[in-house]
Amino acid sequence: MSNVVLDAQNISKSFTDGKTTVDVIRNLSLQVKTGEFISIVGSSGSGKSTLLHVLGGLDRPTTGQVFVQGRRFDNLGEAERGYIRNEHLGFVYQFHHLLPEFSALENVAMPLMLRKGTNFKEVNQQAEYLLERVGLSHRLTHKPGELSGGERQRVALARALVTKPKLMMADEPTGNLDRKTAVKIFELLSELRQEFNMAMLIVTHDEQLAKSADAVLHMQDGVWVDH
Ligand SMILES: Nc1ncnc2c1ncn2[C@@H]1O[C@H](COP(=O)(O)OP(=O)(O)O)[C@@H](O)[C@H]1O
Ligand SMILES: [Mg+2]
């Protein structure tokens, strides 16, 4: 079995607005191996979020191919991409994207609830375990609006990990947190990565935090650049 979790080949992404076309990602390739931690650094507007959305199947590339666990992914329909995402990938956004009307526990349980043949008791146990792992056992019934920024991001992490993904992608997961909280979240990520033998692809502005990765990739105007 191949040890490549994510293989993106010659990815381009352009947005067309009337007569103008903007080439945001230009012929990028990237491989993430099992358990590997890669960080992506680049200034605002360089195309990091666009790339992550394409790699995570939230959007389609204009050209190029994305493979997840050896299976081509980018050319599938919305529902099938959703299924593969749920099965193999975890995603953490810059702004948590938690559902405001649901509790922390319900938010974390959601990805498992969406699966067929769900055993509710097991799902709740698994969600509770993840919330305990991120230090939030005492906040199970709180809604996102009743949590601090750092706590919300911990819930978002727990939700991304509850399915035990092979790869977690995070788009500036600590971008809105103070430095101390950001360092703690990174430490937690590194522990969970080992526990789940999970690969991580993280976009960050923070060169210092990025350095803890196995490899740091620098992005500028939609291409990799040497640093
Ligand atoms: N849906 C879209 N339509 C048109 N342009 C977009 C769209 N999404 C992103 N862009 C443009 O792509 C560029 C890169 O955006 P983004 O990927 O969000 O960068 P980053 O995450 O590195 O800050 C920006 O110039 C942005 O305006
Ligand atoms: Mg971005």
Helix (H) or strand (E) holding 25: strand 20-33
Compute the distance from residue 148 Cα to the ligand 2 centre, in Å. 22
Q: Phi and psi of 15, rounded to 5°?
A: -115, 130
Protein residue with its CA nearest to atom 18 in ligand 1: 49
Mean per-residue pLDDT over the chain, rounded: 93
Compute the distance from residue 187 Cα to the ligand 2 centre, in Å. 22
Q: Which ligand is nearest to the CA of 21?
A: 1
Q: How far apart are CA 207 and CA 37, in angstroms?
A: 15
Can you name the CATH fold of 4-225?
A: Rossmann fold (3.40.50)
In the numeric block, the tokens 């200034």 are attached to 43
Helix, strand, or coil (residue 15): strand
Q: Which ligand is nearest to the CA of 16?
A: 1
Compute the distance from residue 44 Cα to the ligand 1 centre, in Å. 9
Closest CA to 61 of 108, 119, 131, 8: 8
In the numeric block, the tokens 């992490």 are attached to 157
pLDDT of residue 41 exceeding 70, the answer is yes
Helix, strand, or coil (residue 64): strand
Q: How far apart are CA 66 and CA 45, in angstroms?
A: 22
Percent of the chain with pLDDT over 90: 78
Give residue limits of the domains in the chain.
4-225
- 49-75 pLDDT, tens per residue? 999 999 999 999 999 999 999 999 999
- 172-195 pLDDT, tens per residue? 988 888 888 888 888 888 898 999
Provide the sign of the torsion angle of the four alpha carbons 127, 80, 55, 200, taken in this order: positive
Q: Which ligand is nearest to the CA of 22?
A: 1
Under the banding of pLDDT at 50, 70 and 90, the label for residue 1 is low
Compute the distance from residue 206 Cα to the ligand 1 centre, in Å. 20
Query: Which atom of ligand 1 lies nearest, measured to the CA of 24?
Result: 12
Compute the distance from residue 148 Cα to the ligand 1 centre, in Å. 28
Helix (H) or strand (E) holding 185: helix 179-196
Beta bridge mates, 11:
28
**Residues 112/123, Cβ–Cβ less than 8 Å:** yes
Q: Which amino acid is at 199?
A: A
Lining ligand 1 with CB less than 6 A are 15, 22, 24, 42, 44-50
**Residues 61/54, Cβ–Cβ less than 8 Å:** yes
